[in-house]
Structure 1
Amino acid sequence: MTFEKRAALITGGATGIGQATALRLAANGVSVVIADMNDDAGKATADRIDGLFVHCDASRHEDVKQAMQETHVAFGSIDILVTAAAHTGGHYAAAEMPVTEWQRGIDVSLSGAFYASKYAASIMKVQRYGSIIHIASVEGMIGAVNHAAYVTAKTAIFGLTRSLAIDYGRFGIRVNAVSPGIIDSGRPDIEAAKQDPERVRFWREMTVLNRIGRTEEVAAAVCFLASDDASYITGQNLAVDGGWTIGYPVPLSE
């Protein structure tokens, strides 16, 4: 992959997929800014890669704008944006979901991606170069039980990705999405579910590759799309899901 004097901002970069992406980009010579609410983990990740940390609530456009400005001042450009900040909105069917959980899920997972894209695009337009990668989800592709806010937000990410790609392609800005499947990311709900052997068995049986994915595997896809090796790819969604969304790998009947 080719990176030369590039700077990246990653929302939600303190832990999980965002952190793995930060480590991978930094290993390839990219200057990385971590924008996250988790100050301790964010600073620790930034220290590991000799990067910068900015406290940022992705649901607050003022925070996102400030993070973007600090990145631009520090490095003179924003070449790569990765929107990894997300909030599941809890595990509720719609009728039982508190309105506050719905709003928080949409605000962080969808509006946060919009705010970051908005402010990054204004800088990238002037540069006439940039790559934006949204971390979506297979749940946005096929749905999931008791995840209405998260599924809605991640489905909408695909529309945002295509709209941005169309609007800003003429400025040399590419916009794509990556949809992880079941990933061992350290996310609290994933960690809790891993304690149930039957749940883990189901995940494996429903995945063609018969295993749970790693954050590093998602980061590899993100870094490819961010690089000039993907210079003619825009408006696309890349599922990194071990084959989860292509069909049932177990017989439906004998």
Structure 2
Amino acid sequence: MVHFFGFDNSFYHALLYPAVYAEVFSHWTPRVRYHVNEFYLLDGQKFSTSRRHAVWGREVLGPRTVDVVRLHLGLTRPEGERTNFTLDALRRTENEVFHGIWLNWLDALHREIKQDFGGCAPDAGDWAPTDRAFFARIENHRAAMERAYSDAGFSVRRAAVQACDFVRDCLIYGQAQDYAAARNLYPARTRTSLALQTTAAAILAHTLAPLMPRFASTLARGIDGVSTEIWPTSVRRLAPGTIFDLGPLLAFYAKSGNPK
């Protein structure tokens, strides 16, 4: 069994309840893992619904924002120490991280794949050292997320930080490519760069499923053959010709005139 609970309940879950169970079920040898989190504050103070010092779901949750909230809560989760929630910080995660980095990278990748390869993942061509380093980074990300979700190394915050670092790396890698020039001068390099980025997007969908299930499943639906129900044990490049269409995802998460 694995117990998740707040720091203020640690005595009951870790000491009292196992002692009671041992008395009632003397033949049972408990095997319990404990994951404890500290207090999560709101604007520097404890949450209190009686004082209406709280964040109400209707203020922050909507179809396009529920996973952004999950991402922000993951990034600020109080694991070993108290942390603080503010609406301003949530908005920064939404605008600067999710829209400013995540969707910008996926939008640029989608447009390049659609323009040059008709919405299908290309085969890799020539590999530069930066390409090999990026492919290794994809595997490092997969392994790091696996450790963050594991029982022994469980940390939602580490998973959220890892996901943000990985997408930032993907954006930097993509922006470093001069596709306009390479399209005519060195198309084999363009194919490799875009093939690796489509693979990175597929691995992102896999590894985000526990943390951001709606976003992960929407992303996976745009990549043929990718399922968030299966955990990848290694990184494999997408097969050439795999349908890669992120249009529905980008349209779903596009900001309206009055975003939630």
Give the number of the structure whose residues are more often strand, by fraction: 1
| TM-score higher than 0.5 | no
Give the TM-score category using the shorter length: under 0.3
Give the number of the structure whose residues are more often helix, by fraction: 2
Structure of higher CA gyration radius? 2
Structure 1-normalised TM-score?
0.26
Structure 2-normalised TM-score?
0.26
